[in-house]
Amino acid sequence: MAKKEKTEDGELSAIDKMYAKYKKTEQIFEAPKSLEDIDTSVERLINPFLSFDRYLGGAPAKGKITTYSAFASCGKTSMALALAGANKDSVIGFCDNEFNWSDSSYLWIDKYFGIEKERIHVLQPTYLEEGAEMVEDLCEVADIVIFDGFDSLAPKGEYQATMEEQQMGLQARAYKKFFRRSMGKIYKSKAALIITNHLYENIGNVFEPFKEPGGRSIHDFASQKLYLTRSNVKDSKTGKTIGQEVNVTVNKDKLSGNRGAKFNLPYDNRLGFDIELDILNNAVELGIVKQSGAFFSYDSTNIGQGKDKAKLTLKDNPELCLEIVTLCKEKF
């Protein structure tokens, strides 16, 4: 008798009872008939950065964990908010672990990232275990959850101890527990969890110059890990600083397999990321937009003298911008 069939007295078989117990009526996954039938794609967020499409295969995936690690003021939070703002219909959860949020923050994120107050829910945990509970609750109501300042939260045991007491390995164990507890709910809710974390110099190690606090748990559980640094952009003739950019290094990528890839994103510490300039830079590198001296042209039509005017043309002409982006993606 097949295990899935009912017994003679009408009772459910062991397999049917198992599915009933976990509120499933059939197998979660179906076995493909051939390798060609396997769907390797993942559902991702809407992506504002063309460089993400080029080097990462797109924006962070839903139901997965993505981490942005960097030194202070390198654009970690701005990158997460820029991605959240591009998803216009999404509900956003924000765990402010560094206690930087204020009433004026709502005006700031609306102006620079297009995130209205009604779309974002801000919570401020006191310790790491409470933060884990907040992440689980936010995943039930939000499409994107930003856990800002991962290493800023101490475990509850550290709060209860005195300053003199040694807590060896307590933080690393708490971080691992955080991921073990939250991973299943993140996956089932299909919410994208974006974690920002600080980097520290790993003095004496030339192969791994940076390190993250809390052991290896954040590396083991994340699907994508990006390291960010910031540098000045200088004029090739005068040597004067004319802008800034965030240098991105892909430390781990289980979604597109591009570990080790490096790329730069135009950045302004006051205004955030420059989406149009990122498009222009990629279009020039791929040969879609031609540059001759200070002039930029597309399809034999001048679109501006200097990058500022060229990117303004893209911003003021959405159809032209979309056409250039489409041609760029065909070359990836």
DSSP result, 61-80: BTTSEEEEEESTTSSHHHHH
- Which strand ranges, in their side-by-side order, compose the sheet holding 290-292? 290-292, 295-298, 301-305
Q: Residues with Cβ < 8 Å from 21, sequence gap 6 or more?
A: none
Phi then psi dihedrals of residue 97, to 5 deg: -80, -15
Where do the structural domains in the chain lie, given as residue ranges? Answer: 50-159+167-273, 283-330
- Residue-level pLDDT at 297: 95
Strands 144-148 and 120-123: unpaired
- Residue-level pLDDT at 69: 93
- Residue-level pLDDT at 2: 43
Q: Which residues of the chain have pLDDT under 50?
A: 1-5
Q: 100 in helix, strand or coil?
A: coil
Task: Name the CATH superfamily, with its identifier, for domain 283-330.
Answer: RecA protein, C-terminal domain (3.30.250.10)
- Residue-level pLDDT at 244: 87
pTM as predicted: 0.85
- Give the residue among 153, 148, 183 at the shortest CA–CA distance from 65: 183
Q: How far is 250 from 121, CA to CA, in rounded Å?
A: 29
Phi then psi dihedrals of residue 170, to 5 deg: -65, -45
Q: How far is 33 from 20, CA to CA, in rounded Å?
A: 27
- Residue-level pLDDT at 1: 37
User: pLDDT tens for residues 210-265?
Assistant: 778 767 888 899 999 999 998 888 776 777 877 789 999 999 999 888 888 999 99
Identify whether the C-beta of residue 327 lies closer than 8 Å to the C-beta of residue 288: yes
- CATH class of the region 50-159+167-273: alpha beta
